[in-house]
Amino acid sequence: MNHMLKATDIVLIDGAPHPVGDEIADRFREGDLIIGLSGGHLLHVPQADLLVATSAVSQSVEAFDLLKSVASEQISQFFHSFAQKLEDDAIFAKIKTCNEDDVASALQRGRSTTRLILTDAMRSDMISALHTWGDTPHVDGAALESVDHQGWSVTAAKSSLGVVAFVFEGRPNVFADATGVLRSGNTCVFRIGSDALGTAQAIMNLAVLPALESCGLPVGAVSLVESRSHASGWALFSDKRVSLAIARGSGEAVSQLGAVARQFGIAVSLHGTGGAWMIAGEHADAQWFSNVVINSLDRKVCNTLNVCCIVRSRAFELVPLFVDAMNRAALLRDAIAVIHADSASQKLMADEIRSIEVHNLSVNELGTEWEWENAPECSLVIVNDVDEAIALFNRYAPSFIVSIISDNEAELEKVWRETNAPFVSNGMTRWVDGQFALNKPELGLSNWQNGRTFGRGGILSGDSVFSVRYRALQHDADLHR
């Protein structure tokens, strides 16, 4: 749009007219972009954010073309070189200083720093992940299947996809995740949460760019959108040169970013609302149940236990054990556990209720993800049987993780068959992680809000971002239809 806006100007969204309004009209300048989303919501993208995102994508597009002629060994060496830079104590000390500045700024502004702090454990995990990618076979060109005919053959092969755009929350270790797409011949451009921008810039300048250069890879193979503005993320996801848009963070922000990408015809992989469910069945082992509850509540991430269903026939025994497990998980964090419980559960809590914070739970709240910082928080509901628990999961859960605690094969199989969940287990919920489960750093747990995914698993990893191309080799000149 290259003219000034008035508050009464109309934007068509889904065929319906929507006035621009005073706020956007006052801020709009020539060269800015207005994005209309379903529901009548308008987003204003200033020209400065458009330019910074466009520049980063342009570098990534150019690098993708150059990457096609790069040997796979060079890409392997990049990952090892990147890891070696992080292993260098002198380099890491400089990165750590920038991270400490980011953390101090975030604390001053009352922001959460749970995932922002670049700990020694995070450093170690990043290094391990990068070496894993360095040792992983290259994806581009790998055969999926081949069909031989008389005089000719057809091979389906994995092929690079293009520019992969990311918008991540403020976690420094996203570099090991995002750069993984180079393993499949793609390039990446991303915007990190504003709280971690200083850390991201330090990692780029001190580790990523030197590693790319030393291995002969184009510097645009990994590009950072250097902006703290949310609008730069919208600008990134509105660039039609992007082949895949990946968003991770809070549910509302992720949904909005996904809507922007879809508006511009870009494929999306969204990783937002979380919350795992656990079902204690008729044949649950009590001690096993207690242990896996504790181990599902060590920290708040998307695969943390959020709702626990206990069958009525075992409630008298297991509800106090659940409360005790919540208590023990909270004590490890020097906190007081918070339980949202239905009336039947509360009647069975007995003396344990004095040591926890209890809230009344309505059935509609089973769809709520409790976003806790330090004090473990979970919903507890009594169900008549496993069938009722499955029905509640399929109605209220985000179609994500379900754990069935039972020593009975029929109960285990029933939950596996009937829940609309891509991740099912018989123990702790925290196993759902690409690095932990598959030894592959994950880009995210993709599109599991829709339950079972089409033609692929729910763990999106660097070597699973590919297109499929078909190559025919004809040996008979007289081949015809």
Q: What is the pLDDT of residue 173?
A: 85
pLDDT classification of 248: cutoffs 50, 70, 90: confident
Q: What is the pLDDT of residue 19?
A: 81
Q: What is the pLDDT of residue 314?
A: 96
Cα torsion for 63, 65, 66, 72, to the nearest 10°?
100
pLDDT at 246 over 70: yes
pLDDT at 451 over 70: no
pLDDT at 38 over 80: no
Tokens 């029933």 belong to residue: 414
The domains found in the chain, sorted by start residue, are 10-45 (no CATH), 49-271 (3.40.605.10), 276-432 (3.40.309.10)
Report pLDDT digits (tens) over 291-303. Answer: 999 999 999 988 9
Give the C-alpha distances (Å, rounded to integers) separating 270 from 246, 250, 450: 6, 10, 10
pLDDT at 309 over 60: yes
Percent of the chain exceeding pLDDT 90 equals 66
Task: Look at residues 13, 12, 7 and name the one whose alpha carbon lies nearest to residue 39.
Answer: 13
Of the ranges 39-43, 348-352, 441-445, which one carries the lowest mean pLDDT score? Answer: 348-352
The one-letter amino acid at 300? K
Q: What is the pLDDT of residue 1?
A: 44
Could you tell me which residue, 353 or 369, shows the higher pLDDT?
Answer: 369
Q: What is the pLDDT of residue 350?
A: 67
Average pLDDT, the chain: 90
Of the ranges 10-14, 199-203, 375-379, 416-420, which one carries the lowest mean pLDDT score? Answer: 10-14
Of the ranges 125-129, 175-179, 333-337, which one carries the lowest mean pLDDT score? Answer: 175-179
Q: What is the mean pLDDT of residues 162-180?
A: 88
Cα torsion for 99, 104, 109, 110, to the nearest 10°?
100
pLDDT at 455 over 70: no
Query: d(Cα 169, Cα 194) in Å, to the nearest integer?
Result: 8
Report yes or no: 74 and 249 within 8 Å, Cβ to Cβ: no
pLDDT at 315 over 90: yes
Q: What is the pLDDT of residue 2?
A: 47
Report pLDDT digits (tens) over 85-110. Answer: 999 999 999 999 999 999 999 999 98
Tokens of 87: 């292993």
Of the ranges 72-86, 280-294, 395-409, 439-453, which one carries the lowest mean pLDDT score? Answer: 439-453
Max mean pLDDT among 51-55, 263-267, 436-440 falls in: 51-55
